Amino acid sequence: KDYTVIGDTVNIAKRVESDIASGGEIVIGPETYAQVQGSFQCEALPAAQLRGKQRSIQLYRIEAAC
């Protein structure tokens, strides 16, 4: 069987992965950050303007577990 995913969330994840994150980094958006901020130390990155998006998005790099 073949499976695929489509949609805005997948497009954003792809752009963050290819344009923002470096090898071995975990970069998350604001919704995920809100869920994990007590469990992980995160560094706020400059707001990113992603291709195809009108508004910039705040991203965070996970640095370490708390």
Q: What is the pTM of this model?
A: 0.84
Per-residue pLDDT reduced to its tens digit, 8-54: 989 999 999 999 999 999 999 999 999 999 999 999 999 999 988 89
Contacts with 58 (C-beta within 8 Å, 6 or more apart), sequence order: 29, 30, 33, 44, 45, 47
